[in-house]
Chain A
Amino acid sequence: MSTVTETRETEQATRKTEGRTGKSGARKRGRITDENGRRMPVWEIVLRYLLLLAVLALMIGPFLWQLSTSLKGPHENIFSSPPEFLPGSPTLHNYERVADTIPVWDYALNSLKVAAANVVTNCVGATLAGYALARLRYRGRRAATIVFILAMLVPVEGIIIAQFTTMRELGLNNTLIGVLLPGCISALNVLLMRNAFLNLPYEIEEAAYVDGANVWQRFLRIALPAVKGTLAVVAIFAFMGAWDDFLWPLIVLSDPDRFTLTIGLNYLHGTFANDERLVAAGTVIAVLPLIVLFGCLQRYFFRGVGEGAVKG
């Protein structure tokens, strides 16, 4: 039951207005009630669970089918009708084969490098810039804020060709640095951090200022620890964004040795489209790390949706 309350708290954190916080207290253990504390009729509970299970099959089923396909051996019929949902004799053979076909572990490492670097640069860059926009007084602060707002509004899909040209002028096309750079400090993240800092009470920092703390000390000791939650959101979405990105790496990377996992999968699909077991194994390798990450940190994933949507 504690997980339920936890989600409720997360929702309330994403909400702009506080209020009606006491309603969870009306709920009693071991009895199914609606939000008014009334007992739900049995037929409604049954109907709800049936619908939930139907949607569950629709949302998770395709992943499980992919997993099942990847575990089926070469002599098993994957095309049978009616379909066989479970592999007769599960094998990891396809995972070995995918590693023989494309350097899938190198691709995974490339993706990991870009994603990890993207987390660091976004966290550091967005926090610093967000703090400057929210807390520091200087000429041009409004202009700087407007620059980030404008940048956030630019549709990335429309500027990829020019980004690629820029990257070529810098000699960084076909490198992982080139994959990383355009999104390494995203304007949305800067503005998210700015809002987080703006929501902190100013008095504490003022007190520290009176006590003689310089700007770095105020930033590192007082402001930064107070925005850890938003920082976690930025970190997670930076990781997910880089790990999942497709269009930009597709354009900037041309050398198969330097592919990231998504581009590698596209390559695998393009070259070995008829080997479904192989492609299935590749997709499972690509998706598993993120599902694990999501399982561990789902609170922040949900929180990020609220913050990103409201401000974006």
Chain B
Amino acid sequence: MKSSSAVTAPRTAATASRAVTDGPRKRIRRQLPSSPWLFAAPGLLIVGIFILYPFVSTLINSFTDKRTLIPGEFVGLDNFRELLHDDMFWIGLRNSTLYILGVVPALVLLPLLLAMLVQKHIPGITFFRSAFYTPVVASIVVVGLIWVWMLDERGLVNAVLEAVGVGSVGFLSDQWLLLLSAMTVTVWKGLGYYMIIYLAALANVPRELHEAAAVDGAGAVRRFLTVTVPAVRSTMVLVAALSSVAAFKVFSEVYLMAGPNGGPAGEDTTLVMLVQRVGTGLTGRVGYASAISVVVFVVTVALMLLVLRADRKEDA
């Protein structure tokens, strides 16, 4: 290493330095100002320009009639007044809310049961854990398209249903079945993720409690309700918070399964789909889409507060 002569400091971490391969760059580095802001600047810039500035401008735009190619003017609360009379907005709000009601209970309970199933260290269990996690790794587009084909009128699920004599079901043509199918896909894709979260929580459950309960003659269901659930309650709250916020902002599953226009007569449109549809394109109504986004912010924050409050109340 010819560059080592450039180092004035003692080699306190000689072993670690080998991992850093650098030649003449080292000399330049010594002349760099060691300002902390230099370290933080790239991150602050990106986050400022592409997250915080768009956030503030969304708030501001929601009070204007800005369009994609027209700067727009301040219109006060007009956008929000229009929302109240916009059927599509209410459909979106309804569907996003239904999504929370459908998805969150399943995602709080099922991954916990799954985690208990893969908790015991029986041979091959790592394989099962990894396999159950695979849908998390796959892109939502892949997952959506896989299920579009699975639930197709002539797809696998209907072929099985017909073979057992139930007959074909229009999973992707009925407005409500479509929403239900999309929820199922969301749950299917999320199971593995929350399973891992629960697995870490279950490892912290004192096993003495289980033993004591078993000695007292408590059955499996009873032990689950009196030992496991209380012990992982804070994790359940965390999962409820994470999954409800994600459910309210659902876009991809419904977009892929119901199509860009949100199923029959747009009845499956979610709020974020509406934002995307209204706000993009050459005639995009940026101001109005921003007003819908503000509703998304408000509900998201409210959800978080609600869940955290529920947590605190149970603590008391």
> Is B10 in contact with chain A by the CB < 8 A criterion?
yes
CA distance A184 to B147 in the complex (A): 31
Supply 26 A–B pairs (Cβ within 8 Å), ascending by A: A3-B126, A34-B120, A62-B150, A63-B134, A63-B138, A66-B146, A80-B159, A81-B158, A81-B159, A141-B36, A155-B297, A158-B58, A158-B297, A160-B276, A162-B53, A162-B61, A162-B286, A185-B43, A225-B13, A243-B139, A266-B141, A276-B149, A283-B142, A290-B137, A290-B139, A298-B130
The contact string, 1 if C-beta is below 8 Å from chain B, for chain A 212-239, is 1111110111101100000000000000
CA distance A147 to B133 in the complex (A): 33
> Is A129 in contact with chain B by the CB < 8 A criterion?
yes
With A15-B204, A166-B49, A213-B12 known as contacts, the answer to whether A155 contacts B245 (CB < 8 A) is yes
CA distance A59 to B117 in the complex (A): 14
Q: B133 to A7, Cβ gap below 8 A?
A: no
Q: Which residues of chain B in 127-170 are interfacial with respect to chain A, using CB atoms and an 8 Å cutoff?
A: 128-135, 137-142, 145-150, 152, 154, 156, 158-160, 162-163
> Is B296 in contact with chain A by the CB < 8 A criterion?
yes
Interface majority SS on A: helix, strand, loop or mixed?
helix
Which of the residues B7, B140, B146 comes within 8 Å of A63, measured between beta carbons?
Answer: B146
> Shortest 8 CB-CB distances between A and B: which pairs?
A129-B43, A162-B54, A132-B39, A244-B139, A136-B36, A161-B279, A81-B159, A182-B50
Interface segment, B75-83, B87-95, B100-108, B195-203?
B195-203
CA distance A165 to B295 in the complex (A): 19
Q: Which residues of chain A in 282-301 are interfacial with respect to chain B, using CB atoms and an 8 Å cutoff?
A: 282-283, 286-287, 290-291, 293-295, 298, 301
Beta-carbon nearest neighbor of A15 in chain B: B200
Distance in Å from the Cβ of A122 to the closest Cβ of chain B?
10
With A4-B125, A155-B297 known as contacts, the answer to whether A162 contacts B207 (CB < 8 A) is no
The contact string, 1 if C-beta is below 8 Å from chain B, for chain A 256-287, is 00000110011001100000100110110011
CA distance A36 to B214 in the complex (A): 13
Q: A287 to B47, Cβ gap below 8 A?
A: no
CA distance A245 to B242 in the complex (A): 19
CA distance A309 to B49 in the complex (A): 26
CA distance A244 to B138 in the complex (A): 7
Distance in Å from the Cβ of B141 to the closest Cβ of chain A?
4
> Is A32 in contact with chain B by the CB < 8 A criterion?
yes
B7 cross-chain contacts in A, Cβ below 8 A: 217
Which of the residues A8, A52, A163 comes within 8 Å of B128, measured between beta carbons?
Answer: A52
17 more contacts with CB within 8 A, not counting A158-B275, A216-B34, A217-B7, are: A11-B199, A15-B200, A35-B120, A36-B207, A40-B122, A63-B146, A65-B146, A158-B293, A160-B275, A161-B286, A161-B293, A182-B50, A211-B10, A214-B34, A279-B145, A293-B137, A294-B137
> Is A207 in contact with chain B by the CB < 8 A criterion?
yes
A83 cross-chain contacts in B, Cβ below 8 A: 156, 159-160, 163
> Is A305 in contact with chain B by the CB < 8 A criterion?
yes
Q: A128 to B125, Cβ gap below 8 A?
A: no
Q: B42 to A185, Cβ gap below 8 A?
A: yes
CA distance A208 to B17 in the complex (A): 13
B129 cross-chain contacts in A, Cβ below 8 A: 7, 302
CA distance A244 to B141 in the complex (A): 8
A164 cross-chain contacts in B, Cβ below 8 A: 279-280
B145 cross-chain contacts in A, Cβ below 8 A: 265, 269, 279, 282-283
Q: Which residues of chain A in 124-169 are interfacial with respect to chain B, using CB atoms and an 8 Å cutoff?
A: 124-126, 128-129, 131-133, 136-138, 141, 144, 147-148, 150-151, 154-166
